[in-house]
Structure 1
Amino acid sequence: MSSLTTAPQSFSRPKYRPDIDGMRALAILAVLFFHAYPESLPGGFVGVDIFFVISGYLISSIIFRGLDLGSFSFFDFYARRVRRIFPAVAFVLLGSFVLGFFLLIPYEFEEHLLDESPYAAFFLENWRLYVTTGGYWETATELKPLMHFWSLGVEEQYYIFYPLICYLLWKVSVKRFLACLMVMFFVSFALCLYDTYNDSARAFYSLHSRFWQLLIGGVLAYVELQWPQYKKLMGGAFIREINLNNIFSLVGVLLIVFSLIFFEEGKYFPGWRALFPTIGGLLVIAAGTEAILNKYVFSNKLAVFVGLISYPLYLWHWPFICIARNNLGGELPTGFMMVVLIALSFLMAYLTFTLIERPMRSKKPTWQMILCLVMVLLLVSLGTKTAVRRSELLQHTLFAGMPESVQETLKDLPRSERNDIICTDVFGEGHSVCRSTSDKPSVLFFGDSHNYTMWDVLYNQGELPPFYIVGNGGGLIFDDVFVVSKDKKVNSALHEKTSRVWNAIRSHSEINTIVLRGNWVGNLSSTLISNRYPDIGGKNLIKQLWRDTFAELSWLNKQVIVVLDNISVPFNPLVRCVSSHRIDLKKQSNECWIPFESIDPKEYEIRDFLKAEAQKWDNVTIVDSWDALCDEKGCYLSNDNIPYYKDGNHLSIYGNRLVWDLIKKTVFGK
């Protein structure tokens, strides 16, 4: 009988197959070279699909043999998974923290490593990425050193639910067991097809749309367990068994190779395309150890060795590559540096396998061991995150050793300086920043985070001209417009905050000058809902809203100053353009700039539109931030190791200081 609480005297395990370790080698090398040299192996990401099939087959073999012998133990099963997986995860997380401390700037270290570590440690990274990013192929995803834990999340969630499902089905009806597996397979595959074309990120990351890839290995494991009943169907007089195995192996390898060469990232995946590597992996496993390719290629000693270290190699390779990429400002390492990173990945994988993974396998799993491993993982992930976030000493340590200009750029505005009662009495509470410099200013600076980050420069500058500054991250300046997020949720709170600002503009006649500043080019790609213009969308809606804004402010007899925004770039200039790390892997130059011809055409589109519209109104004036940040060559991102940007679109205190001097002359005449 199986047991829910106690381990059996002997745990039934399938016979070791070296060719499966060789398949693991193929899978991990595909993933590694896809991450290191994406153009040379465009379909290398399907290595994960091969891993899914292998895991499904091996785990199902263990479960089914235990159920068949009446010796299956839930405790033993889960304990072995914890013993096998947790130690290496804890070690890699610690190593990633050390690498990140020296090679990442503080907010990258905190956001990309610390904040992700609890999700990675407890195998929820797949859902974390689904909620917080646009998908596997997004640049934001590729800069997360723990991103690759998404596949471990899928597998571990499978390990949690699958044994219980199998146990219940086996107890209900062994005869219908295979039929039940097939039903689950087709349901999961149908969900995968649906999600691939309706919510591609969910299809890629979720267990329900990947379940069929793991389950197909389980179907093969069940067929092999019942081999005497199926032997006539698979061989017999029709075709000699050894030839069938060779056909299986050859066709399987061809399907995998086809996927590796011809699949491309960003195409609809997994979907029906995932059948190629999945069926390919299944056929190679089904071919058995005597198939020629399995016996002489996949069972080769070198292939088996790489397969044995494939798990720690998978864990280590991405933090090395990704952290170096962050250090280089988003550029993928190349040449000798990439070779070194790959070599380090293999070295750390071998050490992890030899010193941690293999010794742990030899220990008998106990409740005490499992509890200890869980606590270690909690301490490494959540404990480290909490300690760094809450300790002033550790926060200071994060910044220590960095150039002063970088430290100043990365400092957050103190919460006590973000709002004051004079401002919130007029514009309401809840804004990202709502500050005033006198009792009843006549000037209002209104916009999004591009507007209120200017307060980072001004809050401790002493005497200032009289003004309000109000802004909300991700907000718009337009009234009666709703912003729709990537997950198709309407941001009613943001709409309410903007409405309060407009109500104040209309009701406070002493506010006679409105300075509008924001990420205007970013607005063009926002998804909006307008009650006034339900049939207009995209950039046409944005342009109409600008016209309405100018018209209403003119009718209210307000002077309007529109600040044309700084350029946005698809990388972080703070990292790429200045010496911002304790250890910098990149070569430095005295200046970093973008030529005008390389600037996003959308920047010119919105600038030209605003200039043209401003000329139609006597009360509208344009202030161009390019006058402060650009010259005849192009626009500067840094100069003399002084960063003008804190990320790809927000100015640093140094960049904002240049723009403030320009605005101050126009608004206050000094």
Structure 2
Amino acid sequence: MQPVSRAAAHFRADVEGLRAIAVLSVVAFHYGVPSVTGGFVGVDVFFVISGYLISQLLLREIAATGKLDFLGFYGRRAKRLLPAALAVTVATLTIGYFVLAPFEQKEMAKSATASALYAANVWLLRQSTNYFAPESSLNPFLHTWSLSVEEQFYLFWPAFLLLVSRISQNVLLIALLIVVFGSFAACFYLTYGKQAWAFYLAPPRAWEFGLGALIATRPFEDWMRQPGSSRLIVGWLSFAVLILSFFAIDGFMPFPGVVAMVPVFATALLLLTGDDPAGPSALLRMRPFQFFDARSYAIYLWHWPIAVLGTVLVGGTALAHCLFFAMTVVLSSLSFAWLERPIRSSYWLAQRSVRSIAMGGALTLIATVAGVLSFTIAQYVTDAAQAAIVASTSKFSLASESGCLAGFTTPKPIRCVFGPSNYTKTIVLLGDSHADQWTTALTAIAEQKGWRLITYLRASCPVADISISKVYSLRLRRLSSQCASWREQAIAKIKNQDTPDAILLAQFSSGNVKGPFTNLGPHAVSVETWERGLFRALKELEPLGVKLIVLRDNPTPYHPVGNCLARAEWRGLPFSTCSRSLSLTMSDEVFEAEQRVVSSINNARMIDLTSSICTDLVCPAIRDGIVVYRDANHLTVDFTLLLKDRLAADLTAAL
């Protein structure tokens, strides 16, 4: 959260308190505080506040002098932002060297370099990074995307305000309205098409800054000075709506888009209703909020690297997160007292703006060099063992490599055929990525047995006839109705185009059901709903009169096993630290529900390979010298090939 000079921006304690709430909400979200599913909108709150304070500063300078001191503006930002950012970057890269595996260090170094150049948002977009996906929690510089958005916005904003305000106040207002409505239109459109663009890029976020800027104009400032009880009512209602948004919004909603209007307009109205002591200002002025505001920028910088690296070292328990927060407060206080405040108040830097600009350039160069150096070192220390782990977890199935796994935005089923031309039986594989992971082994079996294998696969679309979500999912990047449509089309193709001897169904069962194993959060379904959904799917296939074989979902460790193994090898720890107890990797409830369904359907069978993946007590990360898991829930290609003979025997018996 980037600071603004109190004097220059005509200090309002309520705005300072609001900024504290914004940064604390983000920290609460990142630290997994229960129910704070929308804490990430604290960034949007700060965008509005920033637009208000910075635009207020610029407009008052223009009104007083008729011009802008561009060097002074950018010099002030450089000395306020870059010293703390450099400290966090160097500290994170240094600690990351000892904590993370070399391949993780390389990714961290790339993100650090992008962050140093204030291009983290563009880098994350190019990497197709989903801010809400579990794998994003491995990037210590993920949070710097918002700082990049802000600095990109302020590259043109001062010149824009100077240009339009010189013409007239009316032109200024019209120009700001054009920015707000134009940017929001782009944001709305992209949210439902290319939502990562709407989330990460500055132009679709400009409306949030622009709305804050509107409130900083003279007509709105004049209105703020007028007394009235209605302002108090609006203020308290806006405050309540803002707090509620931290709990009501979640990462599965179409964000930013229309959803972002809730915290953004609540913040704008809070700014507009002023600092009446009878309003929310009475709370926001309290000393705890002022304390956290003074350190808000440092808190924002430090909290996420501490969480990422700390979780790798000690885990992500509630107690650990409390410790991380305490460390964040301590480090941010030290940063504020010993680094930020002395440099901001430096008389030598204040004498000439060019000194601050030069210092900023030097710090940016140092941070960039640190990122490049970190990458180079990680490249150098990558040995054969590290390379082998990465290679094993980077290999994708035959179907994926052949373009047969439909992506999140592919609405129609893709029919692929594998196996010999002279076949004796036809097996259809229907399912999601947990079906796809078996295609290399199944193709080998088909070649060996003289079978034809036909696949219908789509990522994150289970065979069970359920509704994953009522809204567009940012995590899955599609409407849930597309899964139902895909399933119907795939089954229609099987009925009309294929003449199978058996249909093999595989899916990420426990990941779709409420409980400790789900990755769908509040939009997961109950065991009962899953049971009914699987029953409907099998019942629809039953009239074909062929064997219906349900492959029990594999145990899932729910942590990135490849990363864990690479870290263990790097730090000299036993690979067993990456194994998981069997009871923590599977849902017996889901399995029992699926067994009930299978027993109620004619010609239905179930195959359970659990005993070949895990022992009676433990699911190892490496078995018979082979890495078991590609990520947090998929098996590696090499390990599925290790199970090929067992799978072939079970399939033959089921047929």
Q: Same fold (TM over 0.5)?
A: yes
2: CA distance, partners of 1:519 / 1:389: 43
1:182-581 equivalence runs, <5 A = 182-223=177-218, 227=221, 231=222, 240=227, 243=229, 246-293=232-279, 296-326=282-312, 332-335=316-319, 337-361=320-344, 362=346, 363-364=349-350, 365-366=353-354, 367-385=357-375, 387-391=376-380, 394-395=381-382, 407=386, 410=389, 412=391, 449-450=396-397, 474-476=400-402, 485-486=407-408, 525=460, 540=491, 567=554, 569=556, 570-574=558-562, 580=568
Deviations 1:143-176 (A, max 9, x none): 3222212221221121112223222223444432
The 1:282–1:545 alpha-carbon spacing in structure 2 relative to 1, beyond 3 Å, is same
Output one character per residue of 1:608-645: Cα deviation in whole Å (capped at 9) or x when no partner: 9xxx99x9xxxxxxx99767434567865457999633
Q: Contact 2:578/2:621 (CA < 8 Å) preserved in 1?
A: no
2:36 alignment partner, SS class: coil
When residues 306 and 631 of structure 1 are mapped into structure 2, their CA distance, relative to the original with a 3 A threshold, is: closer
2 CA distance for matches of 1:25 and 1:81? 20
Counterpart Cα distance in 1 of 2:140 and 2:389: 20
Task: Measure, in 1, the Cα distance between the counterparts of 2:644 and 2:147.
Answer: 48
Question: Contact conserved, 2:575 with 2:621, CA < 8 A, in 1?
Answer: no
Give the Cα–Cα distance (whole angstroms) in 2 for the partners of residues 589 and 519 of structure 1. Answer: 35
CA distance in 1, matches of 2:630, 2:453: 16
Deviation at 1:221, TM superposition (A): 0.9
Q: Is the counterpart of residue 154 in structure 1 residue 149 in structure 2?
A: yes
Could you tell me which of 69, 73, 77 is aligned with 2:73? Answer: 77
What is the distance in 2 between the residues matched to 1:176 and 1:544? 64
- Give the counterpart of 1:593 among 572, 582, 606: 582
Question: Which of 94, 97, 100 pairs up with 2:93?
Answer: 97
Matched AA of 1:475? E
Q: Deviations over 1:491-510 (max 9, x none)?
A: x9xx9xx99x999999xxxx
Tell me what 2:571 maps to.
582
TM-score, with structure 1 as normaliser = 0.66
1: CA distance, partners of 2:340 / 2:84: 7
Distance in 1, Cα, partners of 2:332 & 2:405: 46
Tell me if structure 1 keeps the 8 A contact 2:22–2:46. Answer: yes
Q: Please, which runs of 5 or more residues in structure 2 have no aligned partner?
A: 1-5, 424-445, 463-484, 503-550, 651-655
> Which of 93, 106, 110 is the matching residue for 2:102?
106
**Residues 502/629 of structure 1: CA separation in 2 closer, same or farther (3 Å cut):** closer
- Rg larger for: 1
Question: Compared with structure 1, are the counterparts of its residues 302 and 202 closer, same or farther at alpha carbon in structure 2 (3 Å cutoff)?
Answer: same
SS in structure 1 of the partner of residue 184 of structure 2: helix
Distance 2:190 2:589 in 1: 36
Cα displacement (A) at 1:307: 0.2
Give how far 1:25 is off.
1.0
Shift of residue 487, structure 1, vs aligned partner: 6.4
Instruction: Tell me, in whole angstroms, the C-alpha distance in 1 between the residues paired with 2:224 and 2:421.
Output: 79
> How far off its partner does 1:360 sit?
2.4
1:176 maps to what in 2? 171
Q: Cα 1:291–1:197, aligned 2, differ >3 Å: closer, same or farther?
A: farther
From 648, 660, 665, the counterpart of 2:632: 648
- Corresponding pairs, count: 544
- AA of the residue aligned to 1:301: R
Q: 1:348 Cα deviation (Å)?
A: 1.4
Contact residue 126 and residue 206 of structure 1 kept, 8 A = yes
Deviations 1:279-306 (Å, cap 9, x if unpaired)? 2222333344443456543233332121
Per the normalisation by structure 2, the TM-score is 0.67
Check whether the contact 2:215–2:272 (CA below 8 A) recurs between aligned residues: yes
